[in-house]
Structure 1
């Protein structure tokens, strides 16, 4: 399956008003869970639907999960239907953090076979380009027949543990280097990273305007990190897929987006990520 990745603000502007277009506003702020709705109500792209990452793109956290586990398949199927999305839709998702949060929606929708792209540069780029914004809520959202949902690109904690013995995956951590190196940790009870993981901070996919770097540059950077150039990536020469993770399975999706944009095949996320792994380490220390 060919995975679509990015759309420019000019392309989205030219699609405004088309019947099958669905735009999702995924702005999210980890330290203020209500802010996304507030900034959406202040202004958003016309006809965009607000998406609450914490409650609509994630299930409830427990002692055994990471901070943003996936919702149940049934719940997400209903949510997709309520957004007016079906398999004929053209979906565009955006945020104001270079796609850091919109990429989670993109990843969840893309594996359902839905045509979905991330707005390159997001809401700031839309504003810089002089496009219209509104405070009006979208009207006449037509609830669609629910589609069957599954998450074939989801990797579980047990699979990561098994991989230590069977060498099934290459792990790639999307967090900032200080958190990866255990030098700074203000979210989880343990600092550091999963043993053997490589680090690619998701912000490295972006330029100073928080739009994506050129695809060939991202290709070169991932090639160097993963061991080779072009088709000689370690992930291909060893037949090992890359499994992406981060703090809670959100910004990991940004690296998947970037790799596909740059011409590589990538799709797997360990959604529990470091927030689940740190809980595992705490439990082991108590034994």
Structure 2
């Protein structure tokens, strides 16, 4: 799983499925990458299907059956290569890729556009032609031995000197309440405002070193509902972090279970 440069994506042509995770009105009305299919963000989140009575394996996961339907309808099988994008620096698209991995998709086949739609249109063609893909079979199977961890594992990591728990939310959210001892790393700090993609590798490594996020150690990520950690997860994978844990329940579940929190006092 990695960030893919726009020129590489363009060179691959139809070897890669292009997946636009924006809302359908954006896909249809604003335009999209040529041959991209539309898989809106809400279609692979559990809360969008509450009326169906289905529940995912954890947090906001949609459940293997529902995810298989969504991806199959988009013409994608689990063996296919795909690149996902949005128009928000990749944070929504990253969530799709992490969900794919959790349901058994080979991470080596998963790519996040380095940038977003607004960066793509500066140099590459777009289309407003709706793509109607041929249905495929997507065999989604949740991998319990994957990167997703439960709250007890996170709590143990807070006391582990060889692990760091990382809060990827904004500063004001962290100040209001965060897991005790968690390090703050707003996911947006990894984004270059000009390119709309990842900051240069040297800058990222300096930032992570400053925060004590060691590539040789264990890193546990959380936010509120596991959307923002998806972008950070892909970024750290890109940088070679091998021991990454993904707390799907995040702060929402942590609070519901009455686990300890701490806050920072603000100066008046």
Q: Normalising by the residue count of structure 2, what TM-score does the alignment of the two structures yield? A: 0.81
In 2, the alpha carbon distance for the partners of 1:268 and 1:165 equals: 15
In 2, the alpha carbon distance for the partners of 1:55 and 1:211 equals: 24
Alignment of 1:163-202 (within 5 A): 163=157, 169-182=163-176, 192-202=177-187
CA contact (8 A) 1:174 1:255 kept: yes
Query: Displacement of 1:260 after TM fit?
Result: 1.8
Alignment size in residue pairs = 249
Larger displacement relative to structure 2 (268-277 or 135-144): 135-144
Which residue in the other structure is 1:143 paired with? 136
In 2, the alpha carbon distance for the partners of 1:145 and 1:205 equals: 32
Which residue in the other structure is 2:218 paired with? 241
Query: Displacement of 1:282 after TM fit?
Result: 9.4
Query: Displacement of 1:91 after TM fit?
Result: 0.2
In 2, the alpha carbon distance for the partners of 1:73 and 1:156 equals: 18
Which residue in the other structure is 1:265 paired with? 242
| 1:206-262 CA-partner distances (Å, limit 9, x unpaired) | 1112211112221222122126xxxxx2x63xxx52110112101111111111222
Corresponding residue to 2:35 among 47, 65, 69: 47
In 2, the alpha carbon distance for the partners of 1:68 and 1:214 equals: 32
Query: Displacement of 1:90 after TM fit?
Result: 1.5
Which residue in the other structure is 2:7 paired with? 10
Task: List, as ranges, runs of 4+ consecutive aligned residues in structure 1 with deviation greater than 4 Å.
Answer: 59-62, 162-169
Which residue in the other structure is 1:72 paired with? 63
SS at match of 1:54: helix
- Unaligned runs of 5+ residues in structure 1 are 28-35, 183-191, 228-232
Alpha carbons of 1:37 and 1:68: their partners in 2 closer, same or farther (altered >3 Å)?
Answer: farther
Query: Displacement of 1:197 after TM fit?
Result: 0.7
- Unaligned runs of 5+ residues in structure 2 are 262-268
The question of 1:224 aligning with 2:210 is answered yes
Alpha carbons of 1:270 and 1:140: their partners in 2 closer, same or farther (altered >3 Å)?
Answer: closer
Alpha carbons of 1:177 and 1:266: their partners in 2 closer, same or farther (altered >3 Å)?
Answer: farther
Which residue in the other structure is 2:265 paired with? none
Query: Displacement of 1:162 after TM fit?
Result: 4.7
